Structure 1
């Protein structure tokens, strides 16, 4: 629906088979792209695509909290839910909610516990500084922070239910969507989902506008200049370690060992990195994207 791209404007596309209900159109290449296949994505079990373009998994532990991003004036924690498979040494985990800290504010986005899934029933909750934001259930409904907020903040529904876009001016944009674990997924992967809980969780897409050279966190570290990923890119399922370094005492505590957050009272001494917007021949684009052959 962007009139600046005449070749794609008002055309209808079908999502790729591996994401039949959740994709976006790349206006440069005029083709649909899975939202979870772009840099900054945190989806599924949870599968990350870093700022360096490398895909990896970070399993964490169920019912624990981990810092995804930690910078001087931006910190993002995630609460993991999961299921234990007695035949494995790790939990199956998914991101159930996130808490975003900036200036002196906090936004929380999460999925409500759900038994039977219905796409038309909203199972998403959002709060700003602890107060719930009650958005009308229609696409385009939005909320904006008042004049007292240091950074202009908005929350907009990207669908009638279960999807929002959170934007903090000059800092970040997050697309969040509540999705369930289907019975078919559970059968294929042995998740053990029961009729009492479909393990509703978040699929997330992050875009960062400015980060410092000391940014850390499971995802944040991949945006540092000169960062070299420790995961094996040749592995069938590349796993990122560091649970102890990234675990926090709660969703609302920016206190992981890797924390860099000091809030609006920070000294600002760390060099800021204003991430350029790059485009790759593959069609992937965005701030902080690194094109690789």
Structure 2
């Protein structure tokens, strides 16, 4: 009887551990892929607790860093960190499309999903998908609707020029054309998309967990976990005429109008950024296709080095 009881206990322990390993809150593992440059930083590490699914490995520091804390990020409800480093929120409306960035040769829209909680005057919203227009190309990255979240199931959808892109579900899997490169940054639900000399986008599909719903009173039910995108943007050749919810924050001399002292600084102007559909460059602040070159900017402060020899965070070099 004792042995039988022990066997039952061991079986239960195995089931509990298995359930824990399959839990949706299990942090994602990341690692540094540049073994030549960073030979001592080659092992997987878990994402921090504050961003269990959206982090990257800082190879120089050799530690995971939250993706949503960098300039050019769009995460959560949606929380933006602009090119100027200032954090703000832009809620938009559920089931609507908004212009994140519009420049002469690059336009990015986002489709918002969400729901309205009881006694709320606005929608809770998240970015479900983005459309990127550049040159004569169209890129789509989106989170597929799902009821119950499972990290092992891939819920990311990608098309390029309206053709579906299929990637093996293994870290480092790559699809590449003469224009764009798409690489899985983890086995499922995370990719990096890059067009040389133009942009680099990291996209992670993440759910709203029961705990998040409880804490923030989202009211998310079992039939839809509101899978959405956490996004990171890096731009290489914007002009000083760039606009959009995020794009305007990259302009030289841009002064944010959000109330920084607020617990939740909110960017308004919903009517300016609204588009007729996800692939339309028709918001009121659209710049796409106008051919207004303006001033070419180096938009990543970490990479700035002017010909005059001046370097440093916040420096802008004019061509």
User: TM-score by structure 2 length?
Assistant: 0.82
1:16 CA displacement? 2.4
Corresponding residue of 2:192: 165
Out of 54, 59, 68, the residue aligned to residue 27 of structure 1 is: 59
Quote the Cα distance in structure 1 between the aligned partners of 2:174 and 2:47. Answer: 26
105-114 or 270-279, larger mean C-alpha shift: 270-279
1:12 CA displacement? 5.3
1:120 aligned counterpart, secondary structure: coil
Change (3 A) 1:23 1:65: same
The question of whether the paired residues in 1 share the 8 Å contact of 2:301 and 2:314 is answered with: no
The question of whether the paired residues in 2 share the 8 Å contact of 1:68 and 1:217 is answered with: yes
The question of whether the paired residues in 1 share the 8 Å contact of 2:57 and 2:64 is answered with: yes
2:181 aligned counterpart, secondary structure: strand
Quote the Cα distance in structure 1 between the aligned partners of 2:73 and 2:216. Answer: 21
Corresponding residue of 1:285: none
Corresponding residue of 1:153: 180
The question of whether the paired residues in 1 share the 8 Å contact of 2:235 and 2:300 is answered with: no
Corresponding residue of 1:270: 294
1:100 aligned counterpart, secondary structure: strand
CA RMSD of aligned residues (A): 2.0
Quote the Cα distance in structure 2 between the aligned partners of 1:271 and 1:10. Answer: 40
Quote the Cα distance in structure 2 between the aligned partners of 1:55 and 1:96. Answer: 20
The question of whether the paired residues in 1 share the 8 Å contact of 2:83 and 2:299 is answered with: no
2:267 aligned counterpart, secondary structure: coil
2:214 aligned counterpart, secondary structure: helix
Quote the Cα distance in structure 2 between the aligned partners of 1:126 and 1:289. Answer: 34
Out of 138, 141, 158, the residue aligned to residue 126 of structure 1 is: 158
Quote the Cα distance in structure 1 between the aligned partners of 2:155 and 2:57. Answer: 26
Corresponding residue of 2:11: none
For structure 2, the 5+ residue unaligned runs are 1-31, 305-311
Corresponding residue of 2:235: 208
For structure 1, the 5+ residue unaligned runs are 147-151, 281-287
1:31 CA displacement? 3.6
Residue 17 (1) aligns with residue 49 (2): yes
Out of 48, 59, 80, the residue aligned to residue 91 of structure 2 is: 59
Q: Which is higher, the Rg of structure 1 or of structure 2? A: 2
Change (3 A) 1:187 1:120: same
Q: Which has the higher contact order (CA 8 A, sep 6+)?
A: 1
1:14 CA displacement? 4.4
Quote the Cα distance in structure 1 between the aligned partners of 2:193 and 2:93. Answer: 26
Corresponding residue of 1:193: 220
Corresponding residue of 2:37: 4
The question of whether the paired residues in 1 share the 8 Å contact of 2:240 and 2:297 is answered with: yes
The question of whether the paired residues in 2 share the 8 Å contact of 1:98 and 1:251 is answered with: yes
The question of whether the paired residues in 2 share the 8 Å contact of 1:53 and 1:289 is answered with: no
Quote the Cα distance in structure 1 between the aligned partners of 2:77 and 2:139. Answer: 23
Larger helix proportion of the pair: 2
Corresponding residue of 1:86: 118
Quote the Cα distance in structure 2 between the aligned partners of 1:200 and 1:95. Answer: 9
The structure 1 segments of at least 4 consecutive aligned residues displaced by more than 6 Å after TM superposition are none
